[in-house]
């Protein structure tokens, strides 16, 4: 059984399923799982894209190019601006930002950009908590109780931290813990 929990962009699964494979290998289980479902986010907020920050002196048009192609355009009011709704580009390559002021002047700057599959947007949290009994793919009888938890958090526009824990409840010998950072 699966239920969507929209206020927290998550799915609750009860019964037979498999854990997610973002950090650890996927594990088949019979039990319960609560996990982020990024398909509940607007399309422009799925996947990793950096936040572009700048200052416009006048009303201005902001154009962002990557690998020679325009990937984003918007208009901003005078003052500090922040672009948080860029679609993920699917590749790496520096972002060339042009701020075209209404008085005809132009500011240009480069935002270095490279990504790893685990990166998430600034202040975005993705998680999974699974608890149940291991369910072998081959139909065997090993039903070791276990708990697995993972989390990924965008600390800044260029830094993601992620980690997890996997522990069978039957023994204390086989606990796995992982904590990793990734930067763009």
Q: Which domain CATH number covers 55?
A: 2.60.40.3110
Q: Are 85 and 128 in the same domain?
A: no
Q: Are 53 and 15 in the same domain?
A: no
Does the pLDDT at position 183 exceed 70? no
Q: What would the pLDDT profile of 61-79 be if each residue is shown by its tens digit?
A: 999 999 999 999 999 999 9
Query: What CA–CA distance (Å, rounded) separates 58 from 61?
Result: 10
Listed residues 88, 111, 134: the one ending a domain: 111
Residues shown for the chain:
184
Q: Where are the beta strands (DSSP E) in the chain?
A: 2-5, 10-18, 28-36, 52-56, 60-66, 69-76, 79-83, 95-101, 106-111, 125-134, 145-156, 159-168, 176-183
Q: Are 104 and 126 in the same domain?
A: no
Please tell me the total count of domains within the chain: 2
Give residue 165's domain range.
2-41+118-183
- Provide the whole-model pTM: 0.79
Q: Are 173 and 153 in the same domain?
A: yes
Q: Are 129 and 179 in the same domain?
A: yes
- Please indicate whether residue 144 or residue 125 has the higher confidence score (pLDDT): 125
Q: Are 14 and 67 in the same domain?
A: no
Listed residues 111, 127, 142: the one ending a domain: 111
């Amino acid at each position: 059984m699966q239920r969507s929990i929209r206020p927290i962009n998550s799915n609750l699964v009860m019964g037979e399923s498999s854990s997610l494979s973002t950090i650890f290998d996927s594990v088949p289980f019979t039990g319960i799982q609560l996990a982020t479902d990024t398909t509940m986010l607007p399309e422009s907020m799925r996947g990793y894209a950096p936040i572009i920050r700048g200052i416009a002196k006048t009303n201005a048009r902001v154009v962002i190019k990557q690998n020679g192609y325009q990937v984003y355009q918007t208009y901003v009011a005078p003052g500090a601006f922040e672009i948080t709704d860029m679609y993920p580009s699917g590749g790496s390559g520096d972002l060339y930002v042009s701020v075209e002021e209404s008085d005809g002047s132009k500011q240009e700057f480069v935002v270095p950009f490279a990504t790893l599959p685990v990166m998430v947007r600034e202040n975005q949290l993705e998680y999974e908590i699974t608890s149940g009994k291991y369910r072998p793919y081959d139909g065997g009888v090993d039903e070791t109780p276990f708990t697995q938890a993972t989390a990924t958090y965008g600390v800044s526009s260029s830094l993601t931290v992620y980690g997890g824990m996997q522990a069978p409840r039957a023994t204390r010998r086989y606990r796995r813990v992982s904590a990793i950072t990734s930067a763009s």
